Structure 1
């Protein structure tokens, strides 16, 4: 176990929080959890000073603060010189490949779900009416399905249970939680996405074991 004094500020139940906690557990990084209700709630002044805007989850470590899942992970991996292939500090090529997929998850894969997620935040009840979808909502679902099709192609091309083959990486956790949020909120059936279904089950098992 890697022992360090890390104060972790987070919003309970958010998918970013779930992602970060899973990564910290997987890498066996100890932390002190501090739950807050809002982005601006109870953030210490020394933490806010390091951030362009209040961004949770965030950490304070040895007088340094940083917010956002990816910056936190990159900082901790570098600080503790973690060489695990999950997000290697000693393999520039492997890490660059992982970063490229993380960027795709954020800028393309998740981006295509944002209109659907915003519609859910505005009125979640419209997604609970069995068999009913307005033309506008159906269009958002179609865009989401297109994104799932693209992810299927990525998995099919790379083979193996994970994005980069048989070795799980940070990119897998990122895609997993993006997919999980969509499945949880919109009950999208992965039955016709066999590659994603296999990937999802593989990462889910690792998350449960962490």
Structure 2
């Protein structure tokens, strides 16, 4: 699979997940307001919850709505478990992107063969975790602090490769990321709400899906 196809596959898997054709992000100084968001966020070893995703696609009158749950394990990856309208599981780690259907593995992409996949996976994990250090390395950020706990963050890609897919990302939350709005250069847009976040442990099945 060609690199651009890999990036588009990852983009579709997360209804606009992040990707970059470049290598690892360079460290950037984090502005004070971004550092304040980092202080407000909780960062448990394992975070799980539910999601509702609405995607508006150019040429379609009605948006596509999907619902399900997610599990994020710090240092390991994210599992994106869609229940409606069709059952599927997306497993994202730094080494691979794996989709699971009812019959088992339907597609796997190895980051060792496609270096761009690692950047995509890191950005997806950074979004769900609210990892401001990783986000600041690849995006120009506009921060709005709301009261003692709330915040909003608008991100614009720094590099041309990423800007070819994404025009703007908006996040909002408090102790956790509550919502993500992602605007693609194609005109498509996604709104993802995260519900009932809670710290927990991985189940044996979840740990197995992440791999060794």
**TM-score of the aligned structures, taking structure 1 as reference length:** 0.29
**TM-score of the aligned structures, taking structure 2 as reference length:** 0.29
> Relative CO higher for 1 or 2, CA cutoff 8 Å, sep ≥ 6?
2
